[in-house]
Structure 1
Amino acid sequence: MNRALALRPNGLSLQPLPLLIFSAVGLLLIGVVMIGSASMDTAAQNTGSAFYYLGRQFVYAIMGALLCLAVANVPLSWWSRSGWLLLGVGLLVLALVLTPLGRTVNGSTRWIPLGLFNVQVSEVAKICLIAYLAGYVVRRRDELVNTWLGFLKPVIVLAIASVLLVTEPDFGATVVLMTAALGMIFLSGVRLSRFLPLIAVCVAVGAALVVFQPYRLKRVVSYLDPWQDQFDTGYQLTQSLIAFGRGEWFGVGLGNSVQKLFYLPEAHTDFIFAIIAEEFGLAGSLAILALFGLLVWVGLKISRRAEQAGMPFASCFGYGLTLLIGLQAAINIAVNTGLLPTKGLTLPLVSYGGSSLLATCVCIGVLARIEMERLDALEQKNDGKPKRKGGARYDD
C-alpha cells in the first residue's frame, strides 16, 4: 500500500493528485495532436512550413511541463509572503502593454514581445492577482466578511485591473478574472447580499461596453442570429456550427476536417473545439468535456481538502486558480457552440498559444503543491515525521 492510500481510512478512495496529472496531461496531448491537424494548411500558407505551429506548440508543451514541475516545488509560503509583489507585477504588466512596448494584433494590444515569443500579459496578471487576493482573504477575513470596507478593498483592486484590461481591449479576460476572483471571495464566506450591488454595476458597465463599442454590438447581434449575416458578422459562428454538424456522432476522422481549410478563422486557437467536434464528433466533444470536468472537480476537491486540513491560504488560492481554468474553458466551449457571443479566449491546454499554456501549467503546478503539502501535514500528524523542507506555514 502506497503512502497516499495509507493516509486514507478506507484505503480505496481516489486520490486527487494522479487524477489531476491524468486530466492535465490528457488535455495537453490532445491539444498538441489537434493543433497539428488544424494548423497545417494555414501554417503552410503563412509560414511556408506545415509544421510551424505544431513545432512551436510542442516546445511550449515541454516548457509547460518543466514549469509545472518547478512550480510544484515552490512552497506555498512564498506565494503567501509575496502577495504585494505579485500585485505590483500584475498591475505593472497590464500597464506596460499599453505603452509602446505593447504589440497590437487584430486591433488589440495584449502582448509584450520577448524575442522568440510574445507574452500575453493578461495570463500573467490573472495568476498574480488571484495570489494576492487569496492572501488578502486570509489576512483580513473578519473585515472582509463583516464590513463593507473590507469587501470593497479587493473590489477596487479588481476594478483597476479591469480598466487596464478593457483598455487593451480584452473583455474576455476581464470577465474571467472578475468572476474567478469574486467566486473565490464568495467561497471564503462573504454573504451573497454583498455581491448583488456589485453584480448590478458589472452588468450595467458590461452592457455599456457592448452598446458603445460597435464591434462588440455586432458580435452580440450576430450571436442572436448568426445566419442573418453569415458571410460577415456571423461568419465565424456559422462556420463553427457547420463543423459541429459535419462531425455528427463520431466525426470525419483525424485530419479530415474541411472547416480548417481556410473556412473557419482561428481554427487552431479560439475555435479548436469546433475542429475537434468535426473530426471526432459528439464522442470526441464529450471526451474533452469530461477531461475538463475532471480537472475542475479535482481542483475543487484539492482546495476543499486543504480547507479541511487548516490551510486557508492554500484553499483560497486553489479555488481561485481552479475557477480561472474552469471559467475560461466553459466560455471558450460556449463560444464555439454558439451559447455565448464570440470572444477571443483560448481553450486551456488545448488551443495554440504559449502564454495560455504556460499560465495553465503554473496553475496545475500550484494545485499539485497544495495537495503535496496537505499530504505532508497529514503524514506529520499521523507519525510525527518532519514535513517537507521549505513547506508553507499553514497559518499564513
Structure 2
Amino acid sequence: MRQGFDTWLLIAVLLLVLCSVCFVYTASSAKAERNYDDSAFFLKRQLVRLLLGLIAMFVISRVDYHDILARAPLLYGVSLILLIVLLLLPESMAIRGSRRWFVYGPLQVQPSELAKFCLIFYLAANLAKTQIDVRNFMDGLMPQLVLIGATALAVVLEPDMGTTLIIATVGMFMLFLHGARLQHLFALVSTGVLVAIALLLRVEYQRDRVESFLASVFGAAEPGWQVKQSLIGLGDGGLLGLGLGKSKQKLLFLPDPHTDFIMSIIGEEMGLIGTLGVLLLFFIILWRGFRIAQAAPDASGRLTAFGVTLAIGLSAFVNIAVITNLLPTTGIPLPFVSYGGSSLIVHLAAVGVLLNISQSVKPKKAGGVTKIPLARTKWYHDRKR
C-alpha cells in the first residue's frame, strides 16, 4: 500500500533550499558586484540549478526505487568512467591543484558527487541479494570492497580527501549493518587510514592544510586565513547576529563565502539562533531518513535510505567541522545550502529517492509504528534464525 511523502523530510529540505536562496545572495553579492557588476550574478545561476534539482527530486520521487536500483550497475559504471576520465585530464585543467570538475565554459560538473550516491545504490542492490553473505570475507565481503575501493581510489587521486572519507565511511557502515564482521572492518579501516595518510602527504597543498590545522589545534600557530575569518564571523554574530545582509566577512575577507563557508555567513548574520536553526533542519533530515530506513519494506530500501541519509549527514558534519576548525579544510559544500550545481542537484535527486521509499513504508499497527531491525538488516536476522 502506497503512503504519502514524508512531510517532515520534505519541509526540512525545502527550508534549507530557501536558506540557500537567501544566503547565497547575501554572501556572494559583494564578490559578484566587484567581478561581474551584478550583485545577483551568483544568485541567478543558483536559481537555475535549484530549479533543475527540484525537478529531479520530484520526478525521481515518483519513480519506484526498485527501478533505480535495477539500473544501479549502469549508473555506477558511468560514474566510475567519469572519474577515470577526469584523472586523465592534463594538469593544466586542474582548479586550485585538484581535478574534481569537468569545465565547459561557465558549466562545472563534479562527478564525485554523482559517484557517491551511485555507489550507495549499487551497494544496496548488491547486498540485498540473498546469496551474498558478507560475513564470508573472500566470497561475500571482498566483491563489495572492490566497489567501494574503486570509487574511493578514483576520488582520492583527484585529490578529494573529504569526499573519499564520506564514501568510505558510508560504505563501511552499510557493510556493518548487513552483517560484516567487526574484525574484518576494523582491519580494513586501519589499512585505509594508513593509505589515506600516505596519499595525503603526497599532495603539497593538502599537506599544508593538515600542518596548518595541527599547528592551530596545538597552539603553535593561528588557523589558516579562511578558517580564521570564519571563526571571526561566527564570533561577531553572537546570539542574534548582525542582521540579514550585514556580514563583514563577505566583503572579500572570507574567500568564496557563498560556497564551502556559507555557514559562517549564516552564523555572522543570524547569530547562534540562526545557526542552531539550520542544524535543527539537518537533524530533522537525519531523523526522518533513518526512520524511513527502519520502516522500509525490504533490505534494498533500508540500505539505500540509510546510505543516502548518512551521506547527507556526514557531508553536513564535515562542512561544519571545517568552518569551526575541528577538521582541516576539505572543500565539502553544505548540502542544499552552498552555492554549486553538482552538489545541489545530486543531493536533491537523492532526497527524491528517500521520498519514494517513504511512500512504501509499512503502515502503523494498533500498538504503534511497525519497527524493522535496522542494525544488521532484516535479511541478516533472517539468516541467523
Which residue matches 1:32? 21
Which residue matches 1:388? none
**Cα-to-partner distance string for 1:15-43 (whole Å, 9 max, x where unaligned):** 97000111100101001100100000111
Matched residues, number: 364
**Aligned pairs for 1:328-367 within 5 A:** 328-367=315-354
TM-score (norm 1): 0.86
What letter corresponds to residue 22 of structure 2 in structure 1? V
| 2:94 alignment partner, SS class | strand
Alpha carbons 1:16, 1:302 under 8 Å: kept: no
Alpha carbons 2:229, 2:254 under 8 Å: kept: yes
Matched, 1:135 2:125: yes
Which residue matches 2:11? 22
In the TM superposition, what is the alpha-carbon distance from 1:121 to its structure 2 partner?
A: 0.6
In the TM superposition, what is the alpha-carbon distance from 1:338 to its structure 2 partner?
A: 0.7
In the TM superposition, what is the alpha-carbon distance from 1:128 to its structure 2 partner?
A: 1.1
Single out whichever of 35-44 and 138-147 deviates more from structure 2.
138-147
Alpha carbons 2:28, 2:256 under 8 Å: kept: no
Matched, 1:284 2:282: no
Which residue matches 1:66? 55
1: CA distance between counterparts of 2:232 and 2:215? 15
**Aligned pairs for 1:211-222 within 5 A:** 211-222=201-212
Which residue matches 2:84? 95
| 1:195 alignment partner, SS class | helix
From the superposition, tell whether residues 286 and 316 of structure 1 become closer, same or farther in structure 2 (CA, over 3 Å). Answer: same
| 1:338 alignment partner, SS class | coil
Identical residues among aligned pairs (%): 37
| 1:351 alignment partner, SS class | coil
| 1:257 alignment partner, SS class | coil
From the superposition, tell whether residues 95 and 211 of structure 1 become closer, same or farther in structure 2 (CA, over 3 Å). Answer: closer
1: CA distance between counterparts of 2:64 and 2:242? 47
Single out whichever of 144-153 and 261-270 deviates more from structure 2.
144-153
TM-score (norm 2): 0.89
In the TM superposition, what is the alpha-carbon distance from 1:210 to its structure 2 partner?
A: 3.0
1: CA distance between counterparts of 2:130 and 2:335? 32
Matched, 1:120 2:110: yes
1: CA distance between counterparts of 2:257 and 2:192? 31
What letter corresponds to residue 349 of structure 1 in structure 2? F
| 1:341 alignment partner, SS class | coil
Cα RMSD of the aligned pairs, angstroms, is 2.4
Corresponding residue to 2:95 among 101, 105, 114: 105
Which residue matches 1:391? none
In the TM superposition, what is the alpha-carbon distance from 1:116 to its structure 2 partner?
A: 5.1
What letter corresponds to residue 29 of structure 2 in structure 1? M
**Cα-to-partner distance string for 1:223-281 (whole Å, 9 max, x where unaligned):** 13347555xx7111111111111011111111111011111112100000111111111
Alpha carbons 1:140, 1:150 under 8 Å: kept: no
Matched, 1:75 2:86: no
1: CA distance between counterparts of 2:121 and 2:281? 25
**Aligned pairs for 1:33-48 within 5 A:** 33-48=22-37
Matched, 1:327 2:314: yes
| 2:101 alignment partner, SS class | strand
Which blocks of at least 5 consecutive residues in structure 1 are unaligned? 5-14, 383-394
